[in-house]
Amino acid sequence: MAGTSVPSAPSPGAAPSFTATTFLLLRHGETPLTAQQRFSGSGAGDPPLSERGRRQAEQAAAALAARGDVAAVVSSPLARCRQTAAAVADRLGVEVGIAADLRETDFGRWDGLTFAEVRARFPAEMAAWLAEPSVAPPGGESFAEAAARVSRARDELLAAFQGRTVLLVSHVTPIKTLVRLALGAPDAALFRMHLDPAALSTVAYYGDGNASLRSFNDTAHLRS
């Protein structure tokens, strides 16, 4: 699979068309930039989890291990996701696969800035970015470009894990994109969703091509 490296797993055989393939979508735990509400993409910076983020990863890991149905763990290549994924994989006794296409959007020159700072320094560029998914931040990547690679990762992973439940550890934009695509929602839906650090969302995919959003932004495991 181009851009994707997943650990080998026993084949369940050909899955019946009514058997769903389930993606558990876990946003990485908090980083120092998350707490400050700064753009944190796949560009210049690659911040690790904060102490709170590591606790969130462990809480998510405990909840996911208790499910008993997670067949594999696949992560974005960025450090904050790999750390989050490792906490879960350690509990499950599995390896972490890497899918490069699950990385966060590259925000270019906006990386590390707050929304207010970007609006003040790049008013015209931000207005265009908010209005049109094909517009990229200066030196960065557009939402349309990110959606194309996320769709590619989805299709590769669906083929690799047919009929099973797999945990994907990723970022705000890829997870929202998978949810938007599952719902058949317009591009503007990205700006209508809120996703907390270490939140879980669930999408089930069926053999007839349909998809069903089962949960979104679930943080119950972080309250224990």
Question: Do 103 and 65 meet the contact criterion of CB atoms below 8 Å apart?
Answer: no
Residues 6+ apart with CB under 8 A from 164: 9, 12, 15, 21, 22, 71, 72
Question: Do 31 and 49 meet the contact criterion of CB atoms below 8 Å apart?
Answer: yes
Angstrom distance (rounded) from CA 77 to CA 171:
11
The residues that are catalytic are: 28, 104
CA 190 to chain centre: 13
Question: Distances from the Cα of 188 to the Cαs of 6, 12, 131, 138, 181, in angstroms?
Answer: 32, 38, 8, 20, 12
Angstrom distance (rounded) from CA 26 to CA 11:
24
- Structure token digits, residue 199: 């939140």
Sheet with 4-5: list strands edge to edge. Answer: 4-5, 96-99, 70-75, 165-170, 21-27, 200-205, 211-218
